[in-house]
């Protein structure tokens, strides 16, 4: 009997060790799938080589008035543009905000319908998330988006391929995230961005909260407050303009670097559709 008990304990210990190793592996895999530097999870745009001092300022999780509107109008008044990756349900709730951004010269990209982590969704739902959002963007602006950013950066080759089949290139970022959603002071957000800037960089700020502001009733004012991000913009833009940088949309950044990646196929041209 002692031998049997020892064997059982050994087997239980082995099972625990295997579980720990598997958990560490899966956690590492999960983190890597959200890291822009790991190209094995799908070909994405994180920056462009640039011979000019140009950068792309991007925003996620809106539209979220009044913050998105203030950003759009401030940028226009200061000779700068941005790319807004909007959440579909928020774009459908505030189409006039999306329209104003597009008319101001900003670019509108797809950030899924409800900020879903696509790696956790079935392929059919992944497709629905992207298609539904693109339809909302087209309804607001008259044009379908050509850019897609997965929430959390989570993607795999199938998700990147799906976006390409719907006419969109997958865009991540090159400047480490500034954590502006945690609402640190604007000067801290700006400092985190500015210290990592170089020509061709793509930076990310947040003008909303997963597209839920004004859509879900449980969202509090504090959860939707992006005033720190707005004020950070007012620090970042003039600081970089003083260094000779020009702000461009992601599409313009791509054009300056050369032709877009060949994996993009527009379904409308190939018999498909949004």
Domain of residue 29 covers 2-33
CA atoms of 195 and 182, how far apart (whole Å): 19
123, 69, 128, 56: which is closest to 95 by C-alpha?
69
Q: Are 261 and 255 in contact (CB under 8 A)?
A: no
CB proximity list for 175: less than 8 A, separation 6 or greater: 193, 196, 197, 201, 202, 203, 204
| CA–CA distances in Å: residue 226 to residues 16, 59, 209 | 44, 11, 9
What is the reported pLDDT for 36? 60
CATH at residue 236: 3.20.20.370
The pTM of the full predicted model, rounded to 2 decimals, is 0.82
CA atoms of 191 and 180, how far apart (whole Å): 11
Q: Which helix (H) or strand (E) holds 83?
A: strand 83-86
Question: Residue holding tokens 């929430």?
Answer: 151
First to last CA, the chain: 67
Q: Is residue 273 part of a domain?
A: no
224 by Cβ neighbours in 10 Å (0-12 / 13-18 / 19+) ranks as middle
Q: Is residue 181 part of a domain?
A: yes
Shared-domain flag, residues 25 and 151: no
Which residues form the catalytic set? 60, 206
Residue 241 has a CB neighbour count (10 Å cut-off) of: 15
The DSSP-derived string for 51-67 is: SS-EEEEEEES---TTH
Q: Is residue 194 part of a domain?
A: yes
Shared-domain flag, residues 103 and 147: yes
CA atoms of 89 and 92, how far apart (whole Å): 5
Shared-domain flag, residues 26 and 59: no
CB proximity list for 73: less than 8 A, separation 6 or greater: 104
Residues of the chain predicted below pLDDT 70: 1-44, 47-50, 258-274
Shared-domain flag, residues 193 and 166: yes
pLDDT digits over 215-249, tens only? 999 999 999 999 999 999 999 999 999 999 999 99
Q: Is residue 272 part of a domain?
A: no
Residue 105 has a CB neighbour count (10 Å cut-off) of: 14
**Rounded to the nearest 5 degrees, what angle is found at the Cα of 124, between the Cα atoms of 119 and 126?**
40
Shared-domain flag, residues 144 and 183: yes
Shared-domain flag, residues 134 and 253: yes
Shared-domain flag, residues 45 and 28: no
Shared-domain flag, residues 149 and 15: no
Shared-domain flag, residues 73 and 7: no
What is the reported pLDDT for 42? 53
CA atoms of 112 and 89, how far apart (whole Å): 9
Q: Is residue 155 part of a domain?
A: yes
Shared-domain flag, residues 23 and 110: no
CB proximity list for 267: less than 8 A, separation 6 or greater: 165, 166, 167, 273, 274
Shared-domain flag, residues 63 and 12: no
Tokens (6 digits) for 33: 């799938």
Q: Is residue 263 part of a domain?
A: no
Shared-domain flag, residues 113 and 189: yes
Structural domains of the chain, count = 2
28 by Cβ neighbours in 10 Å (0-12 / 13-18 / 19+) ranks as exposed
What is the reported pLDDT for 256? 84
Instruction: Indicate the length of the chain as a whole number.
Output: 274
Q: Are 106 and 84 in contact (CB under 8 A)?
A: yes
CA atoms of 229 and 219, how far apart (whole Å): 18
């Amino acid at each position: 009997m002692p031998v049997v008990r020892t064997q059982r304990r050994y087997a239980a210990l082995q099972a625990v060790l295997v579980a720990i190793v598997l958990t560490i592996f899966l956690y590492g895999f999960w983190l890597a799938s959200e890291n822009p530097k790991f190209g094995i999870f799908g070909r994405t745009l994180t920056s462009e080589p640039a011979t000019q001092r140009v950068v792309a300022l991007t925003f996620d999780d809106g539209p979220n008035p009044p913050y998105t509107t203030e950003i759009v109008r401030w940028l226009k008044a200061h000779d700068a543009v941005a790319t807004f990756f909007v959440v579909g349900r928020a774009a459908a709730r505030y189409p006039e905000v999306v329209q104003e951004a597009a008319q101001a010269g900003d670019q509108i990209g797809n950030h899924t319908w409800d900020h879903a982590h696509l790696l956790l969704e079935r392929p059919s739902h992944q497709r629905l998330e992207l298609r539904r959002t693109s339809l909302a963007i087209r309804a607001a602006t008259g044009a379908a988006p050509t850019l897609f950013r997965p929430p959390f950066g989570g993607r795999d080759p199938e998700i990147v391929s799906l976006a390409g089949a719907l006419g969109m290139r997958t865009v991540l970022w090159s400047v480490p995230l500034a954590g502006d959603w945690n609402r640190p002071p604007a000067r801290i957000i700006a400092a985190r961005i500015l210290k990592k800037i170089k020509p061709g960089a793509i930076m990310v700020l947040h003008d909303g909260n997963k597209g839920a502001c004004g859509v879900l009733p449980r969202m509090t004012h504090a959860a939707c407050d992006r005033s720190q991000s707005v004020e950070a913009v007012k620090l970042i833009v003039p600081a970089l303009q003083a260094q000779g940088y020009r702000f461009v949309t992601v599409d313009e950044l791509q054009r300056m670097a050369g032709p877009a990646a060949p994996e993009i196929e527009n379904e409308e041209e190939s018999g498909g559709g949004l």
